[in-house]
Amino acid sequence: MKGKLSKKYSRIRRYTKIRKNISSRRMFRLVVHRTSRHVYAQIIYRDTAKVSVCASTLEFKKLNINDVYTGNKYSAKIIGQLVAQRALKKGIKTVFFDRSGFKYHGRIKELAESARISGLIF
């Protein structure tokens, strides 16, 4: 397959491998999703499948961050810091990083590195 379909199936193949590896452990996982405009991050507990902490670029209006474009590396860095701060407030220190099949590159990488710098361990 060529074009977007092969790109989609490659991502699906990657995230099934990642989730198989994570599913054997009973811990929190930091799930990241990105679109062309926004970046979303959630920390989910495996046993109950409930979201413990979340942050996304949709919150920028509430946080009075108006001058930032939401689909770039800088906004992903802010989201990584927000997720880490909220997780540490709830007592979550160690997580598994679930990048949802996206390549560890660009916005995903910035989010992960800023979460690590802010105190999350993965």
Q: What angle do the packed helices 107-117 and 73-90 form, to 10 degrees?
A: 40
Print the SS3 string covering the chain: CCCHHHHHHHHHHHHHHHHHHHHCCCCEEEEEEECCCCEEEEEEECCCCCEEEEEEHHHHCCCCCCCCCCCCHHHHHHHHHHHHHHHHHHCCCECEEECCCCCCCCHHHHHHHHHHHCCCEC
CA separation for the pair 7, 105 (Å, rounded): 15
pLDDT of residue 9: 87
pLDDT at 95 over 80: yes
pLDDT, mean of residues 98-113:
94
Q: Which domains are seen in the chain, by residue range?
A: 4-117 (3.30.420.100)
Q: What is the dihedral of CA 93, 61, 104, 6, to 10 degrees?
A: 130
User: Given the DSSP bridges, would you call strands 96-98 and 28-34 parallel, antiparallel or unpaired?
Assistant: parallel
pLDDT, mean of residues 91-115:
94
CA separation for the pair 6, 90 (Å, rounded): 40
pLDDT of residue 18: 80
The pTM (predicted TM-score) of the whole model is 0.86
